[in-house]
Structure 1
Amino acid sequence: MPDTTLQIPTADGPADAFAAFPDEGRHPAVLMYPDGFGIRPVTRELARQLAGHGYYVLVPNPFYRHGPAPLFDLPEHIGARERPALFARLMPLIEAHTADRALRDADAYLRFLAAQPRAAAGPVAVSGYCIGGLLAVRTAAAHPGRVAAVAAFHAPVAADGPGPFSALTARVHLGHAEGDMTPQALAELNRALDAAGVEHTSEIYPGTVHGFTMSDTDAFDASGLERHWDRLLPLLRGALGTG
Structure 2
Amino acid sequence: MCDRDLLARWAMDRRKFGAGAALAGGAVGLSACTTYGGGDTGRLAERSVSFAIGDDTMDAFFVHPADSESPAVIMWPDIAGLRDAKRAMARRLAGEGYAVLVLNPYYQSVSGEQFADFAAFVEQDGFEKVKPWRDQLTAGSVQRTARAAAGWLMERSAVDGARGMGTQGYCMGGPFTIWSAAAVPGIREAASFHGGGLVRDAENSPHTMLRGDANYLIAIAQDDDAENPDHKAILRSAMADTGAAGLVDVFAGDHGWTVPDSPAYDRAAAERANALLLETYASAL
Common fold by TM > 0.5: yes
The answer for the alignment partner of 2:112 in structure 1 is 69
Sequence identity of aligned pairs in percent? 28
Q: Pick from 244, 256, 263 the counterpart of residue 218 of structure 1.
A: 263
**Residues 1:106 and 2:142 are matched in the alignment:** no
Q: Pick from 43, 62, 72 the counterpart of residue 29 of structure 1.
A: 72
Distance 1:129 1:32 in 2: 9
The answer for the alignment partner of 1:191 in structure 2 is 237
Query: Relative to structure 1, is the Cα distance of residues 168 and 127 closer, same or farther in structure 2, using a 3 angstrom cutoff?
Result: farther
Q: Pick from 71, 78, 87 the counterpart of residue 119 of structure 2.
A: 78
Q: Pick from 94, 103, 115 the counterpart of residue 60 of structure 1.
A: 103
- Contact 2:178–2:206 (CA under 8 A) maintained in structure 1: no
Q: Which secondary structure state, in structure 2, belongs to the residue aligned with residue 35 of structure 1?
A: coil
Q: Which secondary structure state, in structure 2, belongs to the residue aligned with residue 48 of structure 1?
A: helix
Query: Relative to structure 1, is the Cα distance of residues 87 and 44 closer, same or farther in structure 2, using a 3 angstrom cutoff?
Result: same
The answer for the alignment partner of 1:178 in structure 2 is 222
Shift of 1:45: 0.3
Distance 1:133 1:50 in 2: 17
Which runs of structure 2 are paired with 1:102-181 in the superposition (5 Å)?
Answer: 102-122=142-162, 123-143=164-184, 145-156=185-196, 157-159=198-200, 160=205, 162-165=207-210, 167-181=211-225
Q: Which secondary structure state, in structure 2, belongs to the residue aligned with residue 9 of structure 1?
A: strand
- Contact 2:80–2:118 (CA under 8 A) maintained in structure 1: no
Query: Relative to structure 1, is the Cα distance of residues 118 and 170 closer, same or farther in structure 2, using a 3 angstrom cutoff?
Result: same
The answer for the alignment partner of 2:279 in structure 1 is 234
Shift of 1:83: 6.4
TM-score, length of structure 2 as denominator length:
0.77
Letter in 1 for 2:77: P
Q: Which secondary structure state, in structure 2, belongs to the residue aligned with residue 210 of structure 1?
A: coil
Distance 2:123 2:175 in 1: 21
- Contact 1:38–1:69 (CA under 8 A) maintained in structure 2: no
Structure 2 unaligned segments of length 5 or more: list them: 1-43
Root-mean-square deviation over aligned CA pairs: 1.8
**Residues 1:51 and 2:94 are matched in the alignment:** yes
TM-score, length of structure 1 as denominator length:
0.90
Distance 2:154 2:80 in 1: 27
Structure with max Cα Rg? 2
Q: Structure 1 residue runs of 4+, over 4 Å off?
A: none
The aligned length equals 234
